[in-house]
Amino acid sequence: MADKPERISYAYVENGKTYSTVVGLFSEGKLVPLEGPYEPLPDDLIVGIISEVRFSGYSVDTNSPYVGFLSSREIRERFNMGDAIFARIVKVDEVKNMDIGDAKKLPEGRLVRVSSVKIPRIIGKKNSMVDMIRANTGCEVIAGRNGYVWITGKGDSNLAERAIRMIEAQAHTHGLTDRVAEFLKSHKKA
């Protein structure tokens, strides 16, 4: 990637040169990976699923190999196993244990799991993509930075899911917004 040592995410330096470690797009000094596991960061807004109920709090499935912990002291409501929540990652320690807070229970719906690196494209600039899906399907779509997307509401959730899968597959291409708009319009129920 470079003939001198540079500090770039997902790249590493050896013998004075910089190399990429993953398949990605490199432009203007930034490397964006096209695939990869979710790496939690503080202040990420995520969709999680309650996986365990304990006395002091809850274990949350965050679509990563690391389990998040939501302390009972952080929230007012009670959750059950299998509930979906929209929450913030408060803290990540050196071994990637996550503390989660600001959790809100999500209404009944369904989960679509996508690669977390595609989420920015699913949300779009200033929420443009996700707003387009909402408008054309009548569903509420909540995309967590961790790759979990929650679809809820009385709209066409199948269409919403197909649109999300389409974006996931083509996230790296140009003209995607137009193609998704076209797809939604042509498959929209009258």
Partner 1 sequence: MGGNSAEKPALLVNGKRVDGRGVEDLRSVKIVARVLNDAEGSAYIEWGKNKILAGIYGPRECIPRHDQSLYRAVVKCRYNMAPFSGAEEHGRSGPNRRSKELSKVIKEAFENVIISENFPKTEISIFVEVLQSDGGTRCAAVTAAAVALADAGIPMKDLISAVAVCKIDGQIAVDPGKEEDNFGESDMPIAFSPRTGEILLFQMDGNLTRSEVARGLELAKNAVSKIRAVQVEAIKKVYDEPKEDRFLLIG
Bridge partners (DSSP) listed for residue 98: 68, 92
Q: What is the residue-wise DSSP string for 70-100?
A: EEGGG-SS---TT-EEEEEEEEE-TT--EEE
Q: Which of 77, 95, 154, 178 binds partner 1 (CB under 8 A)?
A: 95
Secondary structure (DSSP) of 111-141 = EEE--GGGHHHHH-GGGHHHHHHHHHH--EE
In degrees and rounded to multiples of 5, residue 132 shows phi and psi of -65, -40
Which residue among 78, 173, 185, 188 contacts partner 1 (CB under 8 A)? 173
Among 2, 18, 39, 187, binds partner 1 (CB under 8 A): 39
Report the residue number, 14 or 178, with the smaller CB distance to partner 1: 14
Q: Which of 21, 71, 152, 177 binds partner 1 (CB under 8 A)?
A: 21
For binding to partner 1 (CB under 8 A), which residues are involved?
10, 12, 14, 19, 21-23, 33-37, 39, 65-67, 94-96, 115, 117, 165-166, 168-170, 172-173
